[in-house]
């Protein structure tokens, strides 16, 4: 399971994507995914917001995630 | 109504093309907003801005905004275009616009287009100062 990273999230993790270790249990929902990411990279917890996109749509905490989904962390947007 | 929408993420914005894109025989008004790089932010001198995007999602979100604007107002044409990459002071970074039969519709739509884009579209802006770089709005 891979997570795409942009903006400050990319800087915090130090890479444009993050892959969950195959040996560990994978997150089943957006909420679990955010929790695991924040645990691995505590700086993510200091952002003013952190959303998750599943298959390029904003996802709710209860949305389930499976391998093969295109998953992305969306730190606070600042276009315009 | 048959709306014509143009949604793009580009390396460079040419503001001179937008009138042709928005003008329409049934439009009595064209309204455009151009966002550009400002030299000072809270008294600190900005050297440049750098934009990056999650393109597939950003295009989808921009299309949703254009659709919503066309539901709210009677618009003939809508343009939403954002630039990515490094942009120097005074360079345009975003252009949004609409045309409609009368001016009220396009004025209101134009404000909605830029305000909603800033809220929802996955584009990120880094301010580059002489001695530091800051992702805008990232921390409280």
Residue A80 lies in a domain: no
Which structural domains are found in chain B, ordered by start?
A: 4-135 (3.90.1170.40)
Cα–Cα distance for residue pair B27/B79, rounded to 1 Å: 14
CA distance B32 to chain A (A): 14
Residue A32 lies in a domain: yes
Instruction: For residue A47, give the CATH number of its domain.
Output: 3.10.20.30
Confidence of residue B77 (pLDDT cuts 50, 70, 90): very high
Give the total number of structural domains in chain A. Answer: 1
CB-closest option in A57, A75, A80 to B117: A80
Residues within 8 A of A (CB atoms), B 5-34 only = none
Q: What is the ipTM of this complex?
A: 0.95
Residue A31 lies in a domain: yes
Residue A25 lies in a domain: yes
Full domain range(s) for residue A12: 2-74
What was the pLDDT predicted at A74? Answer: 98
User: Which residues of A fall within a CB distance of 8 Å from B137?
Assistant: 48, 76-78
Contact at CB, B119 and A74, closer than 8 angstroms = no
User: Which residues of A fall within a CB distance of 8 Å from B126?
Assistant: 7
pLDDT, one tens digit per residue, over B17-61 is: 999 999 999 999 999 999 999 999 989 999 999 999 999 999 999
Residue A79 lies in a domain: no
Q: Does A40 touch chain B (CB under 8 A)?
A: no
């Amino acid at each position: 399971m891979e997570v795409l990273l942009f903006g400050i999230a990319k800087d915090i993790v130090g890479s444009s994507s993050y892959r969950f270790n195959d040996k560990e249990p994978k997150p089943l929902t957006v909420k679990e995914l955010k929790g695991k990411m924040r645990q691995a990279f505590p700086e993510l917890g200091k952002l003013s917001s952190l959303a998750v996109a599943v298959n390029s749509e904003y996802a709710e905490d209860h949305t389930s995630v499976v391998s093969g989904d295109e998953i992305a962390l969306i730190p606070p947007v600042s276009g315009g | 109504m048959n709306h014509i929408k143009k949604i793009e993420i580009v390396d460079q914005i040419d503001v001179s093309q937008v009138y042709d894109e928005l003008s329409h025989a049934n439009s009595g008004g064209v309204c455009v907003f151009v966002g550009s790089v400002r030299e000072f932010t809270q008294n600190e001198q900005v050297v440049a801005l750098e934009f990056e995007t999650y393109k597939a999602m950003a295009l989808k979100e921009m299309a949703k905004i254009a659709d919503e604007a066309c539901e709210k107002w009677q618009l003939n044409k809508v343009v939403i275009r954002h630039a990515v990459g490094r942009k120097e002071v005074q360079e345009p970074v975003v252009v949004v616009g609409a045309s409609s039969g009368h001016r009220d519709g396009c004025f209101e739509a134009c404000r909605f287009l830029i305000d909603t884009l800033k809220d929802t579209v996955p584009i990120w802006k880094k301010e580059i100062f002489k001695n530091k770089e800051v992702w805008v709005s990232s921390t409280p």
